[in-house]
Amino acid sequence: MTGRYEEPEGRQWQQPGATPAQQSEPAGAGRVDPSASGRHQVAGGPSGPHPVDPTGRPVEQPAPLYADPSSSGQYQVGGGASGPYPVGGGASGPYQVSGGASGPYQVSGGASGPYPVGGGPSGPYPVSGGPSGPHQVAGGPSGPYPVDPHASGPYYVEQHASGPQQAAQPGYYQQGMVQPGATGAPAAQHPQQAARPNQQDLSSSQLIKQGKRPPQSGWRRALYLASGRTINLGESAADLHRRELIARINQPLHGCYKIAMLSLKGGVGKTTTTTTLGSTFSSLRGDRVIAVDANPDRGTLAQKIPLETTATVRHLLRDASRVRKYSDIRAYTSQGPSRLEVLASEQDPAVSEAFSEQDYRRTVELLEHFYNIVLTDCGTGLMHSAMKGVLELADSLVIVSSGSVDGARSASATLDWLDAHGYRELVSRSVAVINSVRPGSGKVDLDKLAQHFAARCRAVCRIPFDPHLEEGAEIELDRLAPATRLALLELAATVADDFPHASARGRAQ
């Protein structure tokens, strides 16, 4: 028993019409029935993996160019066309899926991915209520985090939009977006723009190491000089205060600022205060400063600085039509060491009495084209003709009083007269000066005197007694005592505090 089909011995199959020679072949030649199959019997018709001819030899057949869709592959499968495994109900893959075509996993309700999702298209996680991102957000469309429809973070989110993309508004294009009809790739967007460098980062104060300022006075200055400028302890409190006053004096000034110096009593130092205040301004500021002598009774303002010309305000008014530039008007003024210029008044009392309000207005109108600060040294009387023009054009008043009782009463009477004649607003902007014309104040309480004027004026300043000012000659700032210089700095800084307000008043008018 060999496991294969064998014919009984002595029994041979004879082909009809065969020759004896053909019939005499050995029995072991392996003759096969033409109607039989190959090595393995296949029911239903001739088949097998290799077709054979009647002689038993394999027949090579060319590969079919067209395969019948209803036919099978190498292995016959009954019931319909399929793969190596029978699948009922329709075409499918290696695993039977009911209900329609699908992938390797059965999904009901429609086409989907590897995981069943009901209700509509979505991502790998089911989200109800509408399209969204990987995380479900309740209440409306949004990205990974809920966003207010009106207010948002770095991206503006339009209603019914989703994701972190910024919604475009009609007529509004942002960086990284391409306008309709434009070519080119959009620029890359960043959630947060890096802070641009500020121009202040390149300022000299940021790039250059700031050292201590050398001291200007006192024992610090002496030590600094004795050590060969190697020991620098910095500025003292007095030096810092002085520098602050100078900064206030140099406040910007737009236009021409006019200061009127008033006093009803003579001998209180009004002309001296005019000269020292004007010299302080001109020595520290870069603009031009001039003092005008408007005293009708032979004023002495021109005697406080070296005399350079004999021309007076009368000559200037006579030649006003020929004045075109600063060098033209400079021929009528005298200039001191501090750069203060003085326009002298007429020395003849009979002629100077005719200096009227109109003359003063013409003079100021001419000077304000070339000077930034104009100080007017008024006479002792308030009723002369030029006083009305002085008060109406003044931006500020300086009321000068001595440290005596009668000087204080005269200054207070000046304020009363101004209040009674409609200059109350000008009085509120005025500065009272208590000038010590004698070495001691005696029994007068200067503190109470200062409180009296502080209640009526904008500020009160004190000028101590100085031997150089007592001489009554030409004034040089370098010869003044340090206390006097500091008092004049405080006076000039106090007056300069009104410069910004004067510019605002000028724009309002």
DSSP 368-433: TTT-SEEEEEE-S-SSSTTHHHHHHH-SEEEEEEESSHHHHHHHHHHHHHHHHTT-HHHHHT-EEE
Highest mean predicted confidence (pLDDT) among 46-55, 75-84, 194-203, 449-458: 449-458
pLDDT for the residue 22: 47
Residue 169 in domain: no
For 383, the token pair is 């009723």
Q: pLDDT tens digit string along 329-361?
A: 999 999 999 999 999 988 766 665 567 889 999
User: Taking residues 175-187, what's their average pLDDT?
Assistant: 47
Q: What is the CA radius of gyration of the chain?
A: 57
The last residue of a domain, from among 228, 249, 270:
249
**CA distances (Å), origin 399, targets 352, 420, 426, 483:** 23, 16, 11, 21
Exposure class string for 83-111: b at 16+ Cβ within 10 A, else e = eeeebeeeebeeeebeeeebeeeebeeee
pLDDT for the residue 506: 67
- 33 burial (CB, 10 Å; 0-12 / 13-18 / 19+) is exposed
**CA distances (Å), origin 127, targets 106, 113, 132:** 21, 15, 7
Q: pLDDT tens digit string along 219-267?
A: 888 888 888 888 888 878 888 899 999 999 999 998 899 999 998 877 8
pLDDT for the residue 372: 95
Smallest Cα–Cα separation from 289: which of 259, 318, 248? 259
CB neighbours (10 Å) of residue 208?
Answer: 8
Same structural domain, 265 and 340: yes
Same structural domain, 284 and 241: no
In three-state secondary structure terms, 341 is: strand
Same structural domain, 392 and 501: yes
Same structural domain, 259 and 243: no
Same structural domain, 240 and 333: no
Q: How far apart are CA 386 and CA 372, in angstroms?
A: 21
Residue pair 291/341 in contact by the 8 Å Cβ criterion: yes
Smallest Cα–Cα separation from 260: which of 131, 377, 340, 414? 377
Residue 45 in domain: no
Residue 380 in domain: yes
Residue 229 in domain: yes
The CA-based dihedral angle spanning residues 350, 352, 356, 359, taken in that order and rounded to the nearest 10 degrees: 140
Beta bridge partners of 261: 377, 398
pLDDT for 84 beyond 70: no
List, as own/partner pairs, every contact residues 334-337 make where C-beta atoms lie below 8 angstroms and the sequence separation is at least 24, other chains included.
334/302, 334/305, 334/306, 334/307, 334/308, 334/309, 335/305, 335/308, 336/279, 336/304, 336/305, 336/306, 336/474, 336/475, 337/305, 337/306, 337/476, 337/477
pLDDT for the residue 353: 56
Q: How far apart are the first and last CA of the chain?
A: 136
Do β-strands 289-294 and 341-343 pair in parallel, antiparallel, or remain unpaired?
parallel
**CA distances (Å), origin 460, targets 64, 105, 404, 493:** 122, 98, 16, 12
Provide the mean pLDDT of the chain: 74
pLDDT for 59 beyond 70: no
Same structural domain, 234 and 377: no
**CA distances (Å), origin 423, targets 418, 497, 505:** 5, 20, 16
DSSP for 223-273, please give it. Answer: HHHHTTS-------HHHHHHHHHHHHHT----S-EEEEEE-SSTTSSHHHH
Residue pair 275/361 in contact by the 8 Å Cβ criterion: no
Beta bridge partners of 453: none
Same structural domain, 379 and 489: yes
Strand order in the sheet with 431-435: 334-335, 341-343, 289-294, 373-378, 257-262, 396-402, 431-435, 459-463
In three-state secondary structure terms, 334 is: strand
pLDDT for the residue 36: 52
pLDDT for the residue 407: 85
Q: How far apart are CA 278 and CA 249, in angstroms?
A: 12
pLDDT for 176 beyond 80: no
Residue 165 in domain: no
Location of structure tokens 């980062």: 201
In three-state secondary structure terms, 497 is: coil
- 327 burial (CB, 10 Å; 0-12 / 13-18 / 19+) is exposed
User: Taking residues 31-37, what's their average pLDDT?
Assistant: 52
Residue 393 lies in domain: 254-508
Same structural domain, 374 and 471: yes
Residue 381 in domain: yes
The last residue of a domain, from among 191, 226, 249:
249
Same structural domain, 468 and 404: yes
Same structural domain, 230 and 287: no
The last residue of a domain, from among 223, 249, 275:
249
Same structural domain, 240 and 263: no
Q: What is the CATH number of the domain that holds 458?
A: 3.40.50.300
For 349, the token pair is 């009392």
pLDDT for 182 beyond 70: no
Residue 149 in domain: no
SS3 sequence of 450-483? HHHHHCCCCEEEEECCCHHHHCCCCCCHHHCCHH
Q: Give helix then strand counts, H and E, for the chain.
A: 16, 8
User: Taking residues 303-314, what's their average pLDDT?
Assistant: 91
pTM of the prediction? 0.59
Number of domains in the chain: 2
pLDDT for the residue 170: 45
Residue 12 in domain: no
Same structural domain, 223 and 294: no
